[in-house]
Amino acid sequence: MKSYVVIGLGRFGSGLAKNLCQLGAEVLAMDIRGDLVQQIANDVTHAVVGDGQDKEVLRALGVRNFDCAIVAIGDNLASSVLTVMNLKELGVPYLVCKAHDVTYGRVLEKLGVDRVVIPELEQAQRLARILHSRNVLDYIELSTDYGILEVPAPRAWIGKTLRELNVRAKLDINIIAVKNGEKTNVSPSADYQISSGDVLAVLGDTVALEAMQRQ
């Protein structure tokens, strides 16, 4: 089982921590704000109030024993830098850090961060690729991370039932409606068989929708 420590429980950090835990990882979530820690306590392995800028706090938590540390503090570059320096000095094997912009990211790379993540930029790039795909008929953005894509059924899916395709497990998407001509099947059953001419309304995050485009 892989283990992660996530420092900073804003929207990005808390979402990442919850998803990692759902995937079966051990997750220690930490923030200086007690209310954020309380909100996530039931969704991760451990949740603690603490400051990543305090090396002794990190040492006491045994961060060097985790496979990966994610610094998701947000827009405060100084706090991110001090936290990263502490984690590096304590010997964390792999370090990921959220950056506000490219310049912010370059500073973190200079400090030896293994991977710098700029969520807004990455989401924008993924969305652009989705929208630019020639077979996308429509896209409805539900949030910065989720949307509904309307696409013709992939050729390889024709003749197969939704149960056989098992797209929820394989692609992490949900087919919420199927339209063929004037007929629309909302929330089709698992026995629904995909036909030529079907247009699918697919719900998922931008990563999953991008993967669906490659089917």
Query: What is the model's pLDDT at position 145?
Result: 75
The 8-class DSSP code of residue 64 comes to G
DSSP at 153: P
Q: Give domain 123-212's CATH superfamily.
A: Regulator of K+ conductance, C-terminal domain (3.30.70.1450)
Report in angstroms the alpha-carbon separations of 38 from 6, 14, 29, 126.
15, 11, 10, 32
- Percent of the chain having pLDDT more than 70? 95
Mention the CATH class of domain 3-117. alpha beta
CB 211 within 8 A of CB 178: no
Spans of all domains in the chain: 3-117, 123-212
Give the pTM.
0.63
99-146: pLDDT as tens digits: 888 888 888 888 899 998 887 777 776 677 666 766 777 888 777 678
SS3 at position 158? coil
Question: Among 12-16, 102-106, 120-124, 156-160, which is the least confidently predicted range?
Answer: 120-124
What tokens were used for 12? 């990005």
- Residue 51 makes CB contacts below 8 A (sequence gap 6+) with 32, 57
